[in-house]
Chains A and B, each alone.
Chain A
Amino acid sequence: MALQAEEAVRNGTAEGHGLVLAGVTKRFADFTAVDDLSLTVPAGSFFALLGPSGCGKTTTLRMVAGLEQPTSGTIGIGGRDVTALPPYRRQVNTVFQSYALFPHMSVLDNVAFGLKQRRVRDARAQAKAALAMVELEHLGARKPAQLSGGQQQRVALARALVNRPAVLLLDEPLGALDMKLRRQMQVELKAIQTEVGLTFIHVTHDQEEAMTMADTVAVMNQGRVEQMGPPRQLYELPRTAFVANFLGRSNLMRGRVAEDLGQGLGVDVAGTRVVLPKARATEHHGSVVVGVRPEKVRIQRMDAPFTATANQLAGTVVDASFTGVSTEYLVDIPGVGLMGTFSQNLGQDPASPGEKVRLLWEPDYSFGLAGGEDTGAGGVRP
């Protein structure tokens, strides 16, 4: 395995070897940036490290690149231990957050830089091809300062990709772009990754970006991975309040398990019985936190008919904001607090603040977290 990888590296044909972090810890003088992190990224996948600033995701990336030495633990790429290798000996390339294009070189020289350092013979031709891939072949003679932000981003991408690294690291590569360009680049990046089949590690604090692009998302918080998995699974079944709040929004309610219903649990939430499937709960006894995503919650006037099997809570509309596609409501539930929901714009008359309403959701959409969870973790959302 190691030999194969090395040979692939030498031949320049290395394609998406997996990345393995084992017990990686990084301590700085006064804090621990990454705490005993272990993860495996399969070759050829698009992996996102998602978390708020300061969660240790960039430090992790820098350790993979070799720009930072782990305090302990090992880093393996393609089955080879690279922990002690300096960055210039690692088959890893980075797209830096601020792009870090060499200002004194032309765009083409920037892209050819890595190839030239490895004494690849047709460096310029390959660099031109890489520029063509990002549709910038006509700008090769320019200096980076003469390009727009989006163009610089593509050059940085081409400069890294042209080396066919075993692992490509992307450090918030879209952070400096405006919303529209960001969306466009997300699609392009994903397309390029599918095309070249390399392993991409993408660091971001934008949950939407992580979910649209990555095969696997690891949510990081305070130097640890909170939860890892495919975006859909993380979204539908968060295991901690941090993930529930950081990845999308959640309504979290404190409650106590009151009865065992076989497949489900009956939970007392502020005096109302709510049903929670056992398979979706981390705890089956005592105090728990019941969660539900806002878009799963329907809002009804008190006089409207409803199905008795649905979970329901009654409250008063505090705020209704019309966004065109939908109306967002904040509803105050006595004993629970504020809950959020959307109602798709189907032409109905929206409920207005002060009105009494009923919130309903299917029991199968509920998820259960440990009772000790801080319901405010990971976001300021209601």
Chain B
Amino acid sequence: MRQRIGRWIIPVFGGLAFVYLLVPIAYIFAFSFNDAGRTNLVWRGFTLANWLDPCGAPQVCQSLVNSLQVSVAATLAATVLGTAIALGLVRYRFRFRNTADLLIILPLATPEVVLGASLLAQFLNLGWNLGFATVVIAHTVFCMAFVVVTVRARVAGLDPKLEEAASDLYASPLATFRKVTLPLLLPGIVAAALLSFAMSFDDFIITNFNSGSFDTFPKFIYVAATRGIPAQANVIGSSMFLLALCVVVTGQVISYRKRKALAAR
């Protein structure tokens, strides 16, 4: 009897945790159909109007577009710079390696307010105008640390014998990198890029410090929260969630099918 309870306690508890994680998303989804008017606080009736006109509320779509642009730019920069660093740190021994190591990990140990505030101080100091560029720079800083950590684990797990084998089979260093190293690191790099994109897309605090009058989607909602968030924001929040879910689940299903097909052969 005790054994049976033991077997069920993890799935039940874990399942409840997932429910906890998803309750607000269900709420957001439900209230995207609310015939809300100006504030979306109480249920006033079902409507499809918000979904049919997601850009109906002022600035919702502009802020979304801004957010997407920032996330793409920051993800690209962080992935390229971070992957190079991960390779350099794992594969090569050089002077200042430990310093570099520390400098790259430190942003992870710095809370967002401090990161945001210090960057703001720097931008003020340099006399730069706050906007798209400063937001991208700020996002790249914290995304890069995540990329380095993720990709580095992958590089460390890569068998150096494979690169030696490529070299033994007449592949020049460049060809070895293109044909062997990069393809084997790719899952890690993609995971790091996805994580970067998600973190950048959802960031508010650092953005708030460094964006000036430039609005991202989270910032738009935060500002709107004081006077009432339009239901269109729920539409966008829900559809981004569903889109992300679809993209990744499709990928999962495809790789699952592939694996199954291979196993069956």
Contacts and interface: CB of A to CB of B under 8 A. Distances in A.
A contacts B: CB pair < 8 Å: yes
Interface of A: 65-67, 86-89, 92-94, 96, 98, 100-104, 113-114, 117-118, 141-143, 146, 159-160, 163
B168 A113 contact: no
Contacts, number: 68
B130 to A, nearest CB: 44
Contacts of A114: 169-170
20 contacts: A67-B164, A67-B167, A67-B168, A88-B170, A88-B171, A89-B170, A92-B168, A93-B168, A96-B165, A100-B164, A101-B165, A102-B162, A104-B183, A113-B171, A117-B172, A118-B170, A142-B265, A146-B262, A159-B169, A163-B169
A34 B80 CA distance: 41
Contacts of B166: 102, 113
Nearest to A141: B265
B180 interface: yes
A185 B32 CA distance: 67
A190 to B, nearest CB: 23
B167 A87 contact: yes
A331 to B, nearest CB: 47
B161 interface: yes
B184 interface: yes
A276 to B, nearest CB: 48
Nearest to B183: A104
Contacts of B265: 141-142, 146
Contacts of A117: 169-172, 175
Given A87-B167, A143-B262, A98 B184 contact: no
A87 B168 contact: yes
B137 to A, nearest CB: 35
Given A117-B175, A142-B265, A143-B262, A100 B162 contact: yes
Contacts of A118: 170
Given A103-B184, A117-B171, A163-B169, A87 B164 contact: yes
Contacts of B184: 103-104
Contacts of B53: none
Contacts of B170: 88-89, 114, 117-118, 163
Nearest to B179: A113
Interface size on B, as a range, is 20 to 34
B200 to A, nearest CB: 29
Interface in B122-171: 159, 161-162, 164-171
Contacts of A102: 162, 165-166, 180
B76 to A, nearest CB: 24
8 A-B pairs with least C-beta separation: A114-B169, A100-B165, A117-B170, A100-B161, A87-B167, A117-B171, A94-B168, A88-B170
A142 B176 CA distance: 22
B161 A93 contact: no
Nearest to A65: B168
Given A88-B170, A98-B159, 8 more contacts: A66-B168, A88-B171, A89-B170, A104-B184, A113-B166, A117-B169, A142-B262, A142-B265
A88 B164 CA distance: 9
A187 B23 CA distance: 65
B169 A113 contact: yes
A346 B169 CA distance: 54
Given A67-B168, A143-B262, A96 B161 contact: yes
Contacts of B171: 88, 113, 117
Contact of A98 (B161, B167, B180): B161
A103 B181 CA distance: 11
A88 B167 contact: yes
Contacts of B183: 104
Contacts of A87: 164, 167-168
Contacts of B175: 117
